[in-house]
Amino acid sequence: MTPSTTLSTTVAPPALDEICINTLRFLAVDMVQKAKSGHPGLPLGSAAMAYTLWDRFLKFNPRDPFWPDRDRFVLSAGHGCALLYALLHVTGFDLPLEELERFRQWGSRTPGHPEYGKTPGVEATTGPLGQGLANAVGMAIAEVALAARFNRPGHHIVDHYTYVLASDGDLEEGISSEAGSEAGHLRLGKLIVLYANNHITIEGSTELAFTEDRMARFAAFGWHVQRVEQSNDVDAVALALKAAREERGRPSLILVRTHIGFGSPHKQDTAAAHGEPLGVEEVRLTKEGLGWPVTPLFHIPDEALEHFRKAITRGSAAQADWESRLKAFAKDNAELAAEFQRVINRQLPQRWDTNLPTFTSADGPMATRIASGKTIAVLNSRLPEMMGGSADLAPSTFTNMDGAGNFEPENWAGRNMHFGIREHAMGAILNGMALHRGLIPFGGTFLIFSDYMRPPMRLAAMNALPVIYVFTHDSIAMGEDGPTHQPVEQLVGLRSIPGMVVIRPADANETVIAWRIAIGRKDGPVALVLTRQALPVLDLARYPGIYEGVVLGGYILADSSSSAKPEIILIATGSEVHLALEARDRLASEGVRARVVSVPSTNLFSMQSEPYRDKVLPPGVPLLAIEAGASLGWNSYVGPQIAVIGVDTFGASAPGPVVMDHYGFTVENVCRQAHKLLRPLKEKP
């Protein structure tokens, strides 16, 4: 039997509540109708429960959307954003009515799905179903982690809830199971999900594809589950929310039976209410049916606005109360209070990077994943806001922070996270942690499994979130596990995400600098791509350009021995840089002037000035790119005089060096390709 509570009352909502709910419904309907695009169904069906939450429980201040101890509200079903924009406008956020009238138009603050950073009060970019729900798990994790770090007896400066409005699609997506399982395991009692169970998705009834007992499923994850039969019954919704808030040992799912397109005579409870405007005539009928004036459009009755705007006084008072409590806390704990402000503002402490390791050739050969682990150990001691882990691969990714403890229900002060084998949720949870602020989140797995977390990585880039990924086993050189584990197209794929910075360091010192860049980047994610196999440590005396060079994304590591212009440039990343260096020496002995350019980050290199890039890669000099990954992408560097030694099939199962040999990553082949590239030039009359 499902351990659930059934809550239902038959009392009609009081008149003012109904007016307020209809205000939200018809603002959304008019937005969609005016835009001739959007989703009216969810707002009509879910307005009452959203209103109940925002009116009676949600702690927020429209005048300060970033107040750190506000409750978080994530509209996971981002397609229903007209409802969120209506709520933000009526409660007094800086979102004027004209913005609602410009729904989905160029340059408006009311885009087609909620976009973090574009609209005040939007806590996360949502739209790809399931992501918001998993982001919220990350936010709830951040809340308990920061509470464990900063709260003191008598001082609760971190104390808020995380709410989600989710739809059938959110729960159908696999990520909801990964994130739900993790949240249940962690006993995140202040995470509350309102699930709009309207039995309809785009293709029709959920009977087509979604018939499991969702309450039983979430109960099995360790959640507290409740059912509300009538979503328009604000008292029943309120009762369930109250019970959910009181349940501190388990996250809560409240399954609320909603009706898509509620009130629309021809479209309620049908998929037709989903992704298109109701139509002028149907809007009229719906308004008349619910006792709403057909015109004016975007109608907000005075009494509704007055009631909604009480959120400003309520929110300002709650924030003022928090600020005075923060002051009292600071009086007793000055350093801790300053530290709290620092991490919330994403500032780094003074001299955080002064004792990062420097490696010498005597330390090598060393895999860059090991160098990364050693760097993490130092960063961990300087940056207590670092929190992260791996998707069950910490012994391979070297992401564990010694002495930081495990983050678990019995120890929310722990900073080593165990995401389980749940890469997709890991990515979205990291986003939620970053969105919350106060932490530097990072997560690791093998580069090949970045495929499992690409949707949240894309959103991290879109949200400009400072999230760090530690991807190891970065090429076919990882060897025996074979093609299923050998990344080929991942590098070019990740580099192509706008706003993502991918760094593939060539040795231990480049790895340290890569970490410094990652920690310092506050406006977007960084993916560190690291080797499993040991690599020589580049001699800093011989290659002094490393420190400045990595920051620029690409630099001249070793020039041709004579001062004359190079005849060919060997451009390489990560482990292949060493191959390029060897080939350069061989070519020199064969009378060819070759320059080696290390490009740990094509993304950073492309941001540099043209003169700098031309200095590193002078136009007209032939290029030979060497990277154990798909050749696609390198062509952008090259005119007709380019060749790429890459991997354009799936790799093979054999010891790493053997695979590398077979794929042409040998000094002989690099030199052969270089000569081949140069021959036509030399033969020119």
Catalytic residues: 423
Closest to ligand TPP by CB, 80 or 184: 80
Cα separation, 354 vs 364, in Å, equals 22
Closest to ligand TPP by CB, 17 or 269: 269
Closest to ligand TPP by CB, 67 or 210: 210
Burial of 32 (0-12, 13-18, 19+ CB in 10 A): buried
Residue 257 dihedral angles phi and psi, to the nearest 5° = -75, 105
Structure tokens at 13: 């909502």
Cα separation, 285 vs 305, in Å, equals 24
- Least Cβ distance, residue 360 to ligand TPP (angstroms): 49
- Least Cβ distance, residue 268 to ligand TPP (angstroms): 12
- Least Cβ distance, residue 180 to ligand TPP (angstroms): 16
- Chain centre to alpha carbon of residue 411: 25
Radius of gyration, CA atoms only, the chain: 28
- Chain centre to alpha carbon of residue 257: 30
Closest to ligand TPP by CB, 121 or 128: 128
- Pick the closest to residue 532 from 481, 473, 480, 479 (CA basis): 473
Closest to ligand TPP by CB, 113 or 593: 113
Single-letter residue type at 533: Q
Q: What is the DSSP letter of 197?
A: E
- Least Cβ distance, residue 324 to ligand TPP (angstroms): 41
- Least Cβ distance, residue 13 to ligand TPP (angstroms): 21
Cα torsion for 449, 452, 456, 458, to the nearest 10°? 70
Cα separation, 635 vs 625, in Å, equals 9
Query: Are the C-beta atoms of 80 and 74 separated by less than 8 Å?
Result: no
- Least Cβ distance, residue 126 to ligand TPP (angstroms): 9
Q: What is the DSSP letter of 227?
A: E
Query: Are the C-beta atoms of 651 and 659 separated by less than 8 Å?
Result: yes
List the beta strands (DSSP E) in 158-218: 162-167, 191-197, 200-201, 204-205
- Least Cβ distance, residue 170 to ligand TPP (angstroms): 6
Cα torsion for 574, 577, 578, 579, to the nearest 10°? 110
Strand order in the sheet with 526-529: 416-418, 386-390, 440-446, 468-472, 526-529, 501-503
Closest to ligand TPP by CB, 260 or 552: 260
Distances (CA, A) of 188 to 70, 164, 180: 17, 13, 10
- Least Cβ distance, residue 75 to ligand TPP (angstroms): 11
- Least Cβ distance, residue 42 to ligand TPP (angstroms): 4
Single-letter residue type at 158: V
Structure tokens at 298: 């975007």
Closest to ligand TPP by CB, 204 or 664: 204
Closest to ligand TPP by CB, 157 or 256: 256
3-state SS string over 246-261?
Answer: HCCCCCEEEEEECCCC
What would the DSSP string read from start to end of 564-629?
SPPSEEEEE-TTHHHHHHHHHHHHHHTT--EEEEE-S-HHHHHTS-HHHHHHHS-TTS-EEEE-SS
Closest chain position to ligand TPP (CB)? 169
Closest to ligand TPP by CB, 167 or 450: 167
Closest to ligand TPP by CB, 26 or 634: 26
Query: Are the C-beta atoms of 435 and 463 separated by less than 8 Å?
Result: yes
Q: Are strands 526-529 and 501-503 parallel, antiparallel or unpaired?
A: parallel
Query: Are the C-beta atoms of 47 and 21 separated by less than 8 Å?
Result: yes
Closest to ligand TPP by CB, 136 or 343: 136
Closest to ligand TPP by CB, 200 or 678: 200
Residues found near ligand TPP in the complex (CB under 6 A): 39, 41-42, 77, 79-80, 127-129, 167-169, 173, 196, 198, 200-202, 260, 274
- Least Cβ distance, residue 27 to ligand TPP (angstroms): 17
Single-letter residue type at 374: K
DSSP SS3 for 48: helix
Identify the sign of the CA torsion 420, 423, 427, 429.
negative
What would the DSSP string read from start to end of 387-455?
EEEESS-HHHHT---TTS-B-BTTBTT--EEE--S-HHHHHHHHHHHHHH-S-EEEEEEEGGGGGGGHH
- Least Cβ distance, residue 425 to ligand TPP (angstroms): 14
- Least Cβ distance, residue 69 to ligand TPP (angstroms): 31
**Residue whose tokens read 């990291």:** 430
